[in-house]
Structure 1
Amino acid sequence: MSLITEDPEHSPRDCSRFRSSSPGKHRHRRRRAALIAVSSTVASLVSLALILWLTLRPSGPRFSLLAATATVAGNATTVVVVVDAALSAHNPNAHATALYDQLQASASYGGVALGAGAPLPPLEQPDQGDAVLSALLTSGAGGRLPGGGGGRALLRMRVEGRLRWKVAAWVSARHGLTVDCVAAMVPSSAGQLQQQGSSSSPSSQCATHVL
């Protein structure tokens, strides 16, 4: 025989109510734990990326024009300009490898535009390393001899491409790369329709832009 009392503390309890609410509480706790874990992981990754960027922060490469030779030849109606140039690229970073691709060179000599030559091959440059890029550029056949005061002519050369940074197994996104070089060419010989000019790094300047 059971004794029913009006005392709430001693009266039988509705256990079904507690059983039905218990799974809901467990699901809420699991969702909360998962949210905390995901937030902690994201915060850790962001902090790691920020630390790596502040520690490494790759600097842009430095380019210089090592040497260039321009040859102008033709007859009374056709003039062709050929420029053979060599550029030096220096990677100043101690912990990042420079990866170049889609490199394309173009130039103008004495106001005569030179058509873009064949694309330059991809290049992987180790940290604090140097590399040499060679380009052979030719103008279309025309009837104008490149001008220049005192037999001199100005060479403007541009290299465009893509640059990525590699640190261990991590590789950055591609960045636009533009290199502009200007050099004063001093002819070694001159004629009415033939002349040859040459230049080396002391008389040239290059500006490098990384986007």
Structure 2
Amino acid sequence: MTVKDCSRNHHHHRKRLYCHPLATLLGFIVLALFLVLVIIYLILRPTKPRFILQDAAVSAFNLSAANLLTTSLQVTLSSRNPNERIGIYYDKLEVYASYHSQQITPRTVLPSSYQGHKDTTVWSLNLNGNSVPLAPYLAVALKQERLTGTVLIKMRVEGRIRWKVSTFISGKYHLHVNCPAYVNFGSKSNGLAMGPAINYQLIMNCHVDT
């Protein structure tokens, strides 16, 4: 082995000696950060927000002979942050109404907001859908429900939230809210159209997924 080869091997050996402690230190740092996050989660136990559909004013819910549905709703939604030490950022929440599996109103975007500890936020908004084509099987189901007088409409909220603990702000988490509203239209002769606006004090708890 030449002197040059020995020098190269010695340099490679020293490089390996330096890399091992650095990799070990980096592993300890990552593990420590992970343990800190786990401890914070176990101590704070972040709880998802609670949504309530407070009321809904239905001024139009009419199905044409061509299976085109016109909907006009005014709804009041509230959200409460149940956490004592965690704030919630709401990023670009979108609200719309659906009938069974189909969206029947365009999405209404709520302004971004921050919700402090134990705070409650209330939104009042209009959901309007004009001549939305309804799937044939849903049109049949809607006519049958209207004849019985009660129709299930769901208010859905979709968006993203972030958790805030002191100065720490988490990444974004998806938020899905489903608020069922059993609306009683009364007995109808044709199951297609409704009369004047009807206001319902619902106070319906919503299902929340994050």
TM-score, normalised to structure 1's length? 0.70
Write the distance in 1 (CA, Å) between the matches of 2:116 and 2:108.
24
Identical residues among aligned pairs (%): 25
Aligned counterpart in structure 2 of residue 107 of structure 1, from 80, 97, 119: 97
Write the distance in 2 (CA, Å) between the matches of 1:183 and 1:73.
14
- Indicate how the Cα distance of structure 1 residues 38 and 69 shifts in structure 2: closer, same or farther if over 3 A, else same: same
Structure-1 residue corresponding to 2:209? 209
For the pair shown, which has the larger CA radius of gyration, 1 or 2? 1
- Indicate how the Cα distance of structure 1 residues 95 and 73 shifts in structure 2: closer, same or farther if over 3 A, else same: closer
- Indicate how the Cα distance of structure 1 residues 75 and 94 shifts in structure 2: closer, same or farther if over 3 A, else same: closer
Could you tell me whether the CA contact under 8 Å between 1:113 and 1:139 is conserved in 2?
no
Q: Matched residue of 1:102: which SS?
A: strand
Structure-2 residue corresponding to 1:197? 198
Structure-2 residue corresponding to 1:154? 152
Structure-2 residue corresponding to 1:5? none
- Indicate how the Cα distance of structure 1 residues 200 and 109 shifts in structure 2: closer, same or farther if over 3 A, else same: farther
Could you tell me whether the CA contact under 8 Å between 1:76 and 1:193 is conserved in 2?
no
1:71 aligned onto 2:69: no
Could you tell me whether the CA contact under 8 Å between 1:158 and 1:179 is conserved in 2?
yes
- Indicate how the Cα distance of structure 1 residues 135 and 32 shifts in structure 2: closer, same or farther if over 3 A, else same: same
CA RMSD of aligned residues (A): 3.8
Aligned counterpart in structure 1 of residue 169 of structure 2, from 168, 171, 180: 171
1:95 aligned onto 2:85: yes
Deviation at 1:103, TM superposition (A): 1.0
Unaligned stretches of 5+ in structure 1?
A: 1-22
Could you tell me whether the CA contact under 8 Å between 1:68 and 1:200 is conserved in 2?
yes
1:174 alignment partner AA = K
1:126 aligned onto 2:127: no
Deviation at 1:116, TM superposition (A): 1.8
- Indicate how the Cα distance of structure 1 residues 112 and 60 shifts in structure 2: closer, same or farther if over 3 A, else same: closer
- Which segment drifts farther, 45-54 or 35-44? 35-44
Aligned length: 188
Q: Deviations over 1:86-132 (max 9, x none)?
A: 11101111111111112111113699953224311112111111111
